[in-house]
Amino acid sequence: MSLADRFAKVRADFPILRRRFHGKELVYLDSAATTLKPEPVVKRIADYYLLESANVHRGAYALSDEATRNFEEARADVASLIHASPEEIVFVRNTTEAVNLAAHSWAEKNLSPGDHILITELEHHANIVPWQILAEKKGLKVVAARILDNGQVDEADLFAKLKEPVKLLAITGCSNALGTFTDLSKIIPRAHAAGVKVLVDAAQLISQKPVNVRELDVDFLVFSGHKLFGPTGIGVFYARHELLKDMPPWQGGGSMIAEVTLEKTTFNEAPFRFEAGTPHIEGTVGLHAAIRYFQALDFDDVRAWEHALLKKATDGLRGIPGIILYGDVPDKGAILSFNLRGAHHSDVGQILDQQGVAVRAGHHCTQPLMKRLGVPGTVRASFSIYNNDADVEAFLKAVSKARELLT
């Protein structure tokens, strides 16, 4: 079967793509914000509610045992997706909550006044703001490694900054605004050599490259289910077991305890110590179904397909006068960021919407990056497994129309 035939079958699993907006078939190019959900994932969630609904970890009956088994199998498969162990996987709401967990548990315990947290100019607000809040509270400092004009991290600057009193490097694996990758296999050993722990924001990376926490030797890694064809409200916090087992709880309540008296509580072991209250059970089984769906596709095929779309779209944009591309490097995720000279990104986004083309226009929750690039925002088109050549053609036609109308 050709790649086109294979991905035409994938597309058929996403009924939302048959909807029409403004009289036009939906062209969804905002997968970096959230991916669409295939039917098997939605069906799995419906099955949980219709046939399996029970709480986990506490029932004395078969239905609850089944729910617990399904919940823990989801944890095991999330672990195997990133080559971790199940006891290193904590379920959280999303990437944002995972970063906050790292900040308010590990970092709050292990960092002292005067210590620095190193980030980069590429980061999403989710990997900036939690560190600033903690810094304010504990007398720490957040410093940022610069980027080059092409949207890649300036490694010379980052390596120069990896020194006392930096204790943590919190860095994205793939920029959500530009699609540029960071070279983690080079950066992480340099950080460790300097005695610096590393947290990787894999919100975009997880769908763009295979992730192996053992090979990367990373300390913490975080991502969201909804950017990997899974439901919203479920995310993953990975921490190396040696670190997780000594991390203090950050939220108290049911399930995370060993024993409670009115005077004192002792806590459950990791990862349960970090999952207070009834978890997002349908979210975990939905994420499990999403991982199975994604793993049934060959990753090399996914890369080849998305990159052919990215290349066609990029080459097409280059042919339109007045286009300015950002993060325009050969090896990148399937994310395209641009502006039209003389036009505001929001106006471009609106005209694309009128043509049925859904893109993101704005700062992409990366205001410091936009400031560094000297723009208030960009237009971002991101491609995924359900897009096709016709989507790219509709996108290019819509951008040409925007140019006609706005410049």
Interface contacts to ligand PLP, rule CB under 6 A: 94-96, 124, 126-127, 172, 176, 201, 203-204, 224
What stretches of 287-372 adopt beta strand conformation (E)? 323-326, 335-340, 357-358, 360-362
Residue nearest to ligand PLP (CB): 176
Active-site residue identified among 365, 379, 385, 392? 365
Q: Quick one: tokens of 145?
A: 């490694």
Taking CA atoms, 233 is separated from 12, 97, 132, 305, in Å, by: 25, 10, 24, 28
Burial label, 137 (beta-carbon count in 10 A; 0-12, 13-18, 19+): exposed
The distance of closest approach from Cβ of residue 69 to ligand PLP in the complex, given in angstroms and rounded to an integer, is 27
Complex with ligand PLP: residue 94 or 388, whichever CB lies closer: 94
Complex with ligand PLP: residue 224 or 355, whichever CB lies closer: 224
Taking CA atoms, 43 is separated from 39, 51, 138, in Å, by: 6, 11, 46
Complex with ligand PLP: residue 224 or 378, whichever CB lies closer: 224
Known active-site residue 174: no
Among the listed residues 297, 299, 289, the one whose alpha carbon sits nearest the alpha carbon of residue 77: 289
Complex with ligand PLP: residue 95 or 387, whichever CB lies closer: 95
The distance of closest approach from Cβ of residue 198 to ligand PLP in the complex, given in angstroms and rounded to an integer, is 15
Complex with ligand PLP: residue 204 or 387, whichever CB lies closer: 204
Taking CA atoms, 85 is separated from 107, 242, 247, 372, 385, in Å, by: 22, 12, 17, 39, 28
Contact predicate 406/351, CB 8 Å? yes
Q: Quick one: tokens of 353?
A: 């919407």
Q: Quick one: tokens of 239?
A: 């921490």
The distance of closest approach from Cβ of residue 142 to ligand PLP in the complex, given in angstroms and rounded to an integer, is 16
The distance of closest approach from Cβ of residue 203 to ligand PLP in the complex, given in angstroms and rounded to an integer, is 3
The catalytic residue positions are 365
